[in-house]
A and B are shown apart, each in its own frame.
Chain A
Amino acid sequence: MTGYRLGVALPGSRTSAAILDPEGRVVVTVELGSDTPGDVLDAVLDAAEPHGIRAGDIDHVMFAVTDLRVMNDLAAETGSWRGWPGRLARVAAVRLGAATTSVPPLTLWPQELQQRVVVASTCLSGGAMLDGSDYEPLDFEGLQAFARQISGVAGAVAITGVFSAVTPRHELAAAEVLRAEMGACGAILLSHEYGGLGLVERENATILQAALTAPVAEEAAKLLNAVNRRGMNNAEVFLARSDGTIATLDNAVTHPLSLLGATDATAVVGASVLAGEKDALVGLTNVDGSVRAVCALTDCGPRMTVGQTKVAGVPTGLSVPALVPIHASVEEAIDRAKEAPGDLPLLLVGPGARTFVKSLKPQSPRIVGTALAGTVKVESPVAAEAAAAVGAAAAPVVGEARRIVPLNSPGLEEIRAAVREAARASAMRAGADPANVSIVSADEKPLAYLSEPTVVMRVRAGGPPRDGGTR
């Protein structure tokens, strides 16, 4: 039989893996004190053998790789990127919007990181207005000159246009000019694919992603090799993202920042799957049985942060799981993690889940009534140690589309339909099964202080991963 899914979580010094059957039931899980992907793959395949599952039966392999080596230190607030000199791509940054120079590109970057990552930056005429018309005419000659300047020096290019969320026209045209002028020069990343409003944050994120794309792809190829070497030749490989969704390896490596926090996110999704709860609180445990952080589980996914996230000291618009660290007591963290006043189940996952629950009430290891304030029960579900791997294996493939639209635009309904279609297309590019993609959420948020009401449309679409064996 085929159709099995294998999830692997690589959160750091320990690893876990889980195999789910075609109906999504957990068949086997393992959790190891090893940080090597090959070890945990061997262990889970060994464990699966008695169940009659062979490597060739596995159609999908999902890795949650928060600790992909090259990402490791970038995840830290302060950032110590020196771990891998020579590995980050040397990035050329282009901003389209010549009249925006009060805050030039790279203004908020730590100087060392800037010198290490960015070989050249420029502000050229271009970009869009809120209504989609040209902000400034695109400076083709300036782009050609810049291309000649960086040719052979830059390993990747990041292009950020004013209001590319309204129309990416100039970003796309600029990429074409650079590609024609420079030939195959490495990745060209466009900020509209990253999304969001706030030029500085989007530009920063696009530059960081450009620096990371090649080395992350290199690291990801090692994961792919590990899968192939074990005979899972039919399996398509996915990577988990910080919102608890997955995308095909090829798609995910072009958005490396979206991998940050993925093992925490899939641990929350896994808790939901294992305990059968849609809304709860999830306690992430250390191997010694202490709780590292609490995260709210909302509608089967992790609650996400809103606003700025600093990556390597650089402000980005990135959203990551909203982890509440333990400052005083677990109960206090529970209180702060909650989105609603009502009590909720607390689900413990990770290597120390069982130890923590035992420490509360030794006589009843699994269910502990309401031993903690703010909870209706405290539970460590079966296979809680491998929750992050289970979550990776069970996660949906989701795509998103955003657009800023004045509500008096002609053909508003057509625009709404186009944004929905774009979200579906984004989900399919990320590897969703085209026959099973549906709209997950759609919201429209008005912008303040505009005389013509204008909204930010945001649509998410998703579904299960496409059939395996397509590789």
Chain B
Amino acid sequence: MREIRLSDMDDIARGAAILGAGGGGDPYVGKLLAEVAIEKHGPVSVVDIGDVPPDAVVVPVSSMGAPTVGTEKLPSGHEAITALRALERVMGRKATHLVPIEIGGVNSVIPIAAAAETGLPLVDGDAMGRAFPEAHMVLPTLIGVSCTPMVIVDDKGNTMVLETVSNQWAERFARAACTEAGCSVFTADTVLNGRQLKAGLVAGTLTLAHKLGRAVRLSPEPVATAAALLDGRLLITGKVVDVNRATTGGFARGQARIEGIGACRGMRMTLSFQNEHLVAERDGEIVTSTPDLICVLDNETGDPITTEGMRYGNRVAVLGVPCDSRWTTPEGLRLTGPRAFGYDHDYMPISVGGKQ
């Protein structure tokens, strides 16, 4: 993809929602912002990681907080640029490129709006390869890049700058500020130079989101098409028979039970989710676990079903999709493996037994 035009936005948003693995927030409002910006300023140019000069200043801009709040307390539209400009003042350098911090959900499209408005090119990649809930759960943490200076901006124009001793502390303070601001803020943080992109980003994910969204829209068999494009495994096709949501220990934790239908009749799956789908057990065995992606799709349309949207009667196909391999190193798993989310077991690679 060389540039992003207005007509690409629907497909990018659809693909990004699938890559959100049940979370990341509905890209709907972010897509509107990007469409308004592209309409006004023209298409956004996209560059491959390999084409970015070594001394480039690459800035991720994103939103933080509850996506549901974002659909109610709409942004003013100035937040991302305000955050970017404030960060430039703190750094004493101008951004040369923008990039999504995560490809899953709404944060895949926020930088598109900002790129259209500033005229800066967008790097084809992101720092997660999916959606994760916390600021330090990014590949740059693994290579020692700091999330700070981090600029946090709310819709009223309140601007905060964080300098912290670790990326975990950046997450803690940013989250507190976000709550105080009404659970929806914008941030510019985790600045990379051109030399750090290969190690700090997953390459080509904007193109992947676009390709995925388009293929699912056009395919007569959207689920199979999505699985093939993502190198994913179909874990079960079934019906959601029970959704259980509890809010304990400060996290919204949920479980869904799925009973197999069609060729999967007789199988049972238990899906554990928080903000994203995190662990899938089939007939008592863990078949996929975080940081691998668990994508729950509408069995017919291939539309992603978010953790908030899980309800009795959904007919779903559950895909296990391998994450970027850097996440399955010991350091990667410490940040994003099952234990990082409070589950009492280790990461299990995607495994589907003889039945599938």
Contacts and interface: CB of A to CB of B under 8 A. Distances in A.
A102 B175 CA distance: 23
B129 interface: no
B52 interface: no
B182 A101 contact: no
A448 B69 contact: no
A341 B23 contact: no
Considering residues B76, B133, B259, B307, which has the most beta carbons from chain A within 10 angstroms of its beta carbon?
Answer: B76
A103 B29 contact: yes
Considering residues A101, A130, A162, which has the most beta carbons from chain B within 10 angstroms of its beta carbon?
Answer: A130
Contact of B32 (A107, A163, A336, A450): A107
Contacts of B179: 450-452
Nearest to B251: A453
B172 to A, nearest CB: 10
Given A99-B76, A99-B155, A445 B245 contact: yes
A129 B245 contact: no
B108 interface: no
Contacts of A4: none
Given A97-B74, A455-B247, A339 B66 contact: no
B308 A445 contact: yes
B182 A199 contact: no
A135 B182 CA distance: 8
A129 B182 contact: yes
Nearest to A101: B76
Contacts, number: 118
Contacts of A163: 72-73
A467 B262 CA distance: 50
B77 interface: yes
Contacts of B72: 162-163, 165, 197-199
Given A107-B32, A197-B72, A448 B67 contact: yes
Interface residues of B, number: 46
Interface string A360-398: 000000000000000000000000000000000000000
How would you classify the secondary structure of chain B's contact residues: helix, strand, loop or mixed? loop
Interface in B243-273: 245, 247, 250-252, 254, 259, 261, 265
Given A102-B36, A446-B245, A448-B307, A453 B252 contact: yes
Classify chain A: how many residues form its interface, as a range: 35 or more
B248 to A, nearest CB: 8
A447 B274 CA distance: 10
Interface string B147-179: 000000001100000000000000000011011
A447 B68 contact: yes
B71 A102 contact: no
B97 to A, nearest CB: 23
B300 interface: yes
B223 interface: no
Interface in A424-471: 444-455
A400 to B, nearest CB: 17
A449 B251 contact: no
Interface in A311-343: 336, 339-341
A446 B68 CA distance: 10
A142 to B, nearest CB: 17
24 contacts: A97-B73, A99-B155, A102-B36, A102-B75, A102-B76, A129-B182, A131-B182, A165-B72, A339-B239, A341-B261, A447-B66, A448-B25, A448-B66, A448-B67, A448-B68, A448-B308, A449-B275, A450-B65, A450-B252, A451-B175, A451-B179, A452-B179, A453-B247, A455-B247
